[in-house]
A and B are shown apart, each in its own frame.
Chain A
Amino acid sequence: MIFTKLILVLLVLTNLKLLGSSRVGSSIRVVAAQGIALGLLPVLGHAHELSIRFGLLAAGTIAIKGIVFPWFLFRAVREAEVTREIEPYVGYVASLISGVAILAVSFWMCMRLPMPASLASSWLAPIAIFSIFAGLFLIISRKRALSQVLGFLVLENGVYTFGVGLAPQSSLLVEAGVLLDVFVAVFVMGITMFHINREFDHINTEQMSQLKD
Chain B
Amino acid sequence: MKIELFIPLLLAMTLAPLLPGIINRTKAVFAGRRGQPLLQTYFDLWKLLHKNAVYSRTTTWIFRAGPMLGLAGIIIALTLVPFASFPAIVAFPADFFFLACLLGLMRFVTVLAALDTGSSFEGMGASREIFFSALVEPALLVSLVTLARQAKNLSLSIIFPAVSGAHWLDAGPVLALVFIALMIVLLAENARIPVDDPNTHLELTMIHEVMVLDHGGPDFAFILYGSALKLWLFAALIVEMILPPLNSLWLNLIFSIGGMFLLALTVGVIESVMARLRLLLVPQLLVGAGALAAMAFLLGLR
Contact = CB atoms under 8 A, between A and B. Distances in A.
Given A2-B172, A9-B173, A93-B283, A107 B291 contact: no
A72 interface: no
A9 B172 CA distance: 11
B39 interface: no
Interface string B278-290: 0000011001101
Contacts of B301: 107
B298 interface: yes
Interface string A95-113: 0110110011001000000
B141 to A, nearest CB: 14
Tell me the interface secondary structure of chain B in the complex: helix
Interface in A69-126: 92-93, 96-97, 99-100, 103-104, 107, 122-123, 126
Given A96-B287, A123-B302, A103 B173 contact: no
Contacts of A96: 284, 287-288, 291
Q: What class of interface size applies to chain B in its complex with A?
A: 10 to 19
Nearest to B291: A100
B224 interface: no
Contact of B288 (A9, A16, A122): A16
Contacts, number: 43
Nearest to B297: A104
Contacts of B299: 9, 123
Contacts of B177: 9
A95 to B, nearest CB: 10
Nearest to B171: A5
Contacts of A100: 290-291, 294-295
A93 B287 contact: yes
Interface in B156-170: none
A107 B302 CA distance: 9
A6 interface: yes
B302 A97 contact: no
B291 A16 contact: yes
Nearest to A97: B287
Given A20-B284, A103-B298, 5 more contacts: A16-B288, A20-B287, A100-B291, A103-B294, A104-B294
